């Protein structure tokens, strides 16, 4: 070795030592293909790390040190710290060429590819590295980390299970595999995995917690409670397992039945001794105090919560999630009523209390609180539109229309008020008013396809077929993918028995957009019926009837198609279904179907055949 070479080599070692490189040690027992560095948990950033030089293959005696893998790896580390990425890559690739069996060199190369945003290249190299040495845990862990955000999730469970075979105490791998199972609703697999984890790591509280979660999702309430209690025994200050124990008691599917309110209060109070600001526990204790007749205590706590919620939207949203989002409407009424005492004019309290009453089918109480929501509230318009429907629900349709008319006068260009008011006019058979209002709205919103579609539908109802057809054509011109307009125009043609080829094209396009829409399927069936292809008509109409639960007009269409194919028994049964599903306002349809039933019953001579689906000759 030349003096210049030796001098360069030692300077390089000094620079690496000063810059933080791991100290070079010489312990001949180290394995050739493994870097003895603690593997990073799966969620930590991938980073380059140096390894002791005894992880390299022994150098060839008498060979120039510059030709050793060790030398090029040290050069790579120095260049990497200097952010000279291209030169560092070249040095690392040279080291790999000289020592191709050193797995840690390839792992650092993978990390370099990732830092350069070459994930696919890194993933391919990691897979080849695992193929070369399938029992190397570090290689497997690195591949698993690379696949964390990869769409090819099906390959993950076997890979993670293999890691657990080789490293059965690896906590992160258990949790990652369990997460995959839980997200894919593979609850039995998750239950087996977390059972294994809890047996292997009995002092690890997380294992018991997720075992409890898996049992709870499996409906194993006793085992779930035991697992959550084990979690608490290991970590007494944890809140989440205590809340899960409450969830078990309150679960409607729990065979133990309704929980003891006093026991629930004690559990929530225990949570509050650990975490006095726990919002769920504060809300639920107040509700339970009210439920158990401790009205003064409940009122004081609701007052405190109301004052806090006025300033803290997070508490308010916790109440919404806990009660309204979980369909606990009666409880929501209690809680929001209690908080309302702190500020009777509060927009949020009145809005959510109105929503709770509406969801509890208490329209009069909902109206009372919705009326208190001010125009400044972000949900103001929603409350006003809802109020109109609630007025109609309690039999005050005229008041509902007047209410919407008032809002329309205040905001004459508001599309929502125009649309809803027109719908009310239409329902009250005030078709001229509806068309005039929609036309007025279109003057300022000529390309509003929702208004146009509604106008076309009202024109049709008013008997203005040509105008309706022209309006629907305009909707389709503005939006060729409007499935409703395509279907409406196609069905109109079919019902009139005109332009049947055009009708088929229109409805087929609508079906491409909404293939499982029962009303569009009915339209296609009716096109085939009008074309005389009754067998095809039956196929479409049967699917349409099933999807719409035998909606009256669709059931009548299907019964007509059965008649055309000679299936009188099926036709009669289906006409009866149409009659059963008809609305009181469907007077013309009811009359037609009733007459057809009478005629069919006269044709069918043996009443017993009504219990059969056979065709009567």
Task: Name the nearest CA neighbour of 393 among 430, 366, 432, 415.
Answer: 366
Residues of the chain with CATH 1.25.40.10: 1-150
**292-293-299-304 Cα dihedral, nearest 10 degrees:** -20
Per DSSP, 155 falls in state G
Confidence grade of residue 153 (pLDDT, cut at 50, 70, 90)? low
Confidence grade of residue 18 (pLDDT, cut at 50, 70, 90)? very low
The answer regarding whether domain 1-150 maps to CATH 3.40.50.1370 reads no
* Angle subtended by helix axes 465-478 and 449-461, to nearest 10: 160
The model's pLDDT over 550-601, given as tens digits with 9 standing for 90+, comes to: 999 999 999 999 999 999 999 999 999 999 999 988 999 999 999 999 999 9
Q: Which residue has the higher pLDDT, 437 or 65?
A: 437
End-to-end alpha carbon distance in the chain: 109
Instruction: Please report the pLDDT score of residue 341 as a whole number.
Output: 95
Cα 201 from Cα 68, distance rounded (Å): 43
Instruction: Please report the pLDDT score of residue 254 as a whole number.
Output: 85
The model's pLDDT over 400-438, given as tens digits with 9 standing for 90+, comes to: 999 999 999 999 999 999 999 999 999 999 999 999 999
pLDDT reading at 287 higher than 80: yes
The model's pLDDT over 358-375, given as tens digits with 9 standing for 90+, comes to: 999 999 999 999 999 999
The pair of three-digit structure tokens given for residue 282, joined into one six-digit string: 């504060």
Cα 451 from Cα 270, distance rounded (Å): 57
Confidence grade of residue 38 (pLDDT, cut at 50, 70, 90)? very low
Cα 331 from Cα 340, distance rounded (Å): 14
Per DSSP, 497 falls in state T
Q: Which residue has the higher pLDDT, 274 or 84?
A: 274
pLDDT reading at 143 higher than 90: no
The pair of three-digit structure tokens given for residue 350, joined into one six-digit string: 């009145």
Residue 215: how many other CB atoms lie within 10 Å: 24
Instruction: Please report the pLDDT score of residue 57 as a whole number.
Output: 55
Task: Name the nearest CA neighbour of 442 among 422, 462, 465.
Answer: 422
User: Global pTM?
Assistant: 0.71
Write the DSSP string, 125-145. HHHHHHHH-TT-HHHHHHHHH
Tallying the residues shown for the chain, one arrives at 617
Per DSSP, 3 falls in state H
Per DSSP, 249 falls in state H
Alpha-helix residue ranges (DSSP H) falling in 514-567: 518-531, 534-547, 552-564
3-class SS letters over 83-103: CCHHHHHHHHHHHHHHCCCCH
Q: What percent of the chain has pLDDT over 90?
A: 65
pLDDT reading at 43 higher than 60: no
Instruction: Please report the pLDDT score of residue 156 as a whole number.
Output: 76
Task: Name the nearest CA neighbour of 46 among 137, 108, 92.
Answer: 108
pLDDT reading at 352 higher than 90: yes
Instruction: Report, as an integer, the average pLDDT of 4-32.
Output: 36
Instruction: Please report the pLDDT score of residue 234 as a whole number.
Output: 97
């Amino acid at each position: 070795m030349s003096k210049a070479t030796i001098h360069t080599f030692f300077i390089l070692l000094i620079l690496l030592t000063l810059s933080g490189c791991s100290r070079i040690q010489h312990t001949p027992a180290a394995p050739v293909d493994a870097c003895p560095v603690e593997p990073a948990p799966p969620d930590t950033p991938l980073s380059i790390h140096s390894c002791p030089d005894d992880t390299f293959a022994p150098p060839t005696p008498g060979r120039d040190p510059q030709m050793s893998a060790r030398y090029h790896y040290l050069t790579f580390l120095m260049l990497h710290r200097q952010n000279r990425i291209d030169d560092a890559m070249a040095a690392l690739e040279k080291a790999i060429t000289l020592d191709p069996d050193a797995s840690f060199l390839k792992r650092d190369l993978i990390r370099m590819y990732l830092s350069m945003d070459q994930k696919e290249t890194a993933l391919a190299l990691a897979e080849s590295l695992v193929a070369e040495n399938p029992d190397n845990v570090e290689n497997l862990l690195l591949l698993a980390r690379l696949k964390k955000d990869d769409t090819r999730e099906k390959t993950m469970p076997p890979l993670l299970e293999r890691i657990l075979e080789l490293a059965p105490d690896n906590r992160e791998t258990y949790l990652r595999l369990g997460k995959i199972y839980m997200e894919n609703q593979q609850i039995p697999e998750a239950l087996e995995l977390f059972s294994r984890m809890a047996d292997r790591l009995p002092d690890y509280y997380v294992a018991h917690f997720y075992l409890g979660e898996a049992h709870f999702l499996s409906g194993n309430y006793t085992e779930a409670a035991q697992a959550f209690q084990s979690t608490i025994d290991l970590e007494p200050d944890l809140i989440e397992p205590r809340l899960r124990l409450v969830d078990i008691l309150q679960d409607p599917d729990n065979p133990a039945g309704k929980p003891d309110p006093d026991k629930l209060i004690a559990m929530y109070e225990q949570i509050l001794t650990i975490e006095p600001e726990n919002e769920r526990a504060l809300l639920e204790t107040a509700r339970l105090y009210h439920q158990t007749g401790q009205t003064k205590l409940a009122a004081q706590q609701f007052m405190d919560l109301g004052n806090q919620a006025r300033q803290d939207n997070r508490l308010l949203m916790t109440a919404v999630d806990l009660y309204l989002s979980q369909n606990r409407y009666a409880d929501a009424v209690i809680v929001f009523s209690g908080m309302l005492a702190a500020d009777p004019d509060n927009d949020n309290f009145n809005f959510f209390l109105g929503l709770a009453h509406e969801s509890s089918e208490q329209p009069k109480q909902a109206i009372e609180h919705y009326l208190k929501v001010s125009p400044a509230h972000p949900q103001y318009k929603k409350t006003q539109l809802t109020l109109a429907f609630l007025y109609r629900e309690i039999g005050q349709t005229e008041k509902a229309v007047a209410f919407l008319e008032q809002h329309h006068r205040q905001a004459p260009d508001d599309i929502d008020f125009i649309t809803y008011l027109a719908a009310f006019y239409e329902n009250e058979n005030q078709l001229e008013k509806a068309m005039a209002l929609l036309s007025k709205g279109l003057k300022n919103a000529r390309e509003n396809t929702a208004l146009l579609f509604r106008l076309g539908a009202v024109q049709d109802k008013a008997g203005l077929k040509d105008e309706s057809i022209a309006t629907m054509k305009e909707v389709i011109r503005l939006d060729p993918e409007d499935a409703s307009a395509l279907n409406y125009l196609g069905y109109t043609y079919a019902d009139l028995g005109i332009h049947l080829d055009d009708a088929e094209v229109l409805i087929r396009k609508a079906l491409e957009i909404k293939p499982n829409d029962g009303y569009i399927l009915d339209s296609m069936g009716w096109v085939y019926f009008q074309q005389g292809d009754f067998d095809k008509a039956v196929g479409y109409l049967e699917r349409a009837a099933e999807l719409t639960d035998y909606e009256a007009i669709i059931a009548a269409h299907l019964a007509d198609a059965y008649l055309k194919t000679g299936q009188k028994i099926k036709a009669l049964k289906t006409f009866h279904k149409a009659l059963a599903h008809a609305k009181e306002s469907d007077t013309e349809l009811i009359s037609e179907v009733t007459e057809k039933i009478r005629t069919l019953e006269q044709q069918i001579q043996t009443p017993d055949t009504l219990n059969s689906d056979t065709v009567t000759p």
